Amino acid sequence: MKFNILTIFPEIFNILNHGVISKAFEKNLSINCYDIRENAINKHGQIDGKPYGGGEGMLMMAQPLKETLSKISSKDRGHVIYLSPQGKKLSQESVINYSKMKSLTLVCGRYEGVDQRFIDKYVDEEISIGDFILSGGEYAAICLIDAIARNLPGTIGNEDSIKNDSFSNGLLKGPAYTRPETFEDIKVPDVLLSGNHSKINEWKTQKSLIQTYIRRPDLINELKLTKKQKKLLEEWTSKDIL
């Protein structure tokens, strides 16, 4: 898979050379950064201007963005995404769909955003990673790349861990424990030490449902729970305990 990045700070993406995601670069992932300032409108490196009609801050101009995008062939460009707080909120389902594409081009905005004419003519989709504001689209792009790369074959050693991650089945992941068995008088739940895999799986499923019910009830409302999931959740709600 190939990522093309339009940015004024290419060096920010060096962070992807570390950790689990770096393994993907060795196998089936490449990133090419294109510096928007190389296509500035003057010798001062200007790529932004004051918005017509007034308003705070500066806007990135359409022309430098267009010139930068033109450096990427239409074949390699693929789906063009502008990282924007006005975009559709990113979901795990979307991440999986993107991971099946051969190439993505990510446009990283700065300042107060991007001239709408560039968005209208060259952007296929606007994506937001959450209801908050960042200093630039680079950080959102890194989150998106990381999320997608995790779903590429060979990136994660144990691919079953991807299937059990939060949101992979529409639910949050429940609590997890490791050694020692007792930490500051708090013991690991007995069921996890029992060796009874059926009981352990049932416990994990119930805790995942409870975690989601408490912290993200909106996710529960969007899911079609199985009979078993409904029963496990009802058992907990009837006891009215954690």
76: annotated active-site residue: no
Domains and CATH numbers, the chain: 2-149 (3.40.1280.10), 164-239 (1.10.1270.20)
Catalytic residue among 38, 165, 202, 216: 165
Q: Write down the pLDDT at residue 238.
A: 86
Q: How far apart are CA 110 and CA 108, in angstroms?
A: 7
Catalytic residue among 67, 112, 125, 202: 112
Q: Do 32 and 59 form a contact (C-beta atoms < 8 A)?
A: no
59 phi and psi angles, rounded to 5 deg: -115, 145
**In 3D, which of 22, 4, 1, 167 has the Cα closest to residue 82?**
4
Q: How far apart are CA 69 and CA 73, in angstroms?
A: 8
Q: Write down the pLDDT at residue 163.
A: 58
Catalytic residue among 37, 85, 125, 146: 85
Query: Helices (DSSP H) in 40-115: which residue ranges?
Result: 62-69, 74-77, 92-99
150: annotated active-site residue: yes
180: annotated active-site residue: no
pLDDT digits (tens, 9 = 90+) for 39-52: 999 999 999 999 99
Q: Write down the pLDDT at residue 158.
A: 56
pLDDT digits (tens, 9 = 90+) for 52-85: 999 889 999 999 999 999 999 999 999 999 999 9
Write out the chain's pLDDT in tens, 242 residues. Answer: 999 999 999 999 999 999 888 888 878 899 999 999 999 999 999 999 999 999 889 999 999 999 999 999 999 999 999 999 999 999 999 999 999 999 999 999 999 999 999 999 999 999 999 999 999 999 999 999 999 999 988 787 655 555 556 676 889 999 999 999 999 999 999 999 999 999 999 999 999 999 999 999 999 988 989 999 999 999 998 875 54
85: annotated active-site residue: yes
Q: How would you classify residue 177: left for phi > 0, otherwise alpha for psi between -120 and 50, otherwise beta?
A: beta
Q: Write down the pLDDT at residue 242.
A: 47
Q: Do 5 and 141 form a contact (C-beta atoms < 8 A)?
A: yes
Q: How far apart are CA 201 and CA 207, in angstroms?
A: 10
Catalytic residue among 10, 35, 115, 150: 150
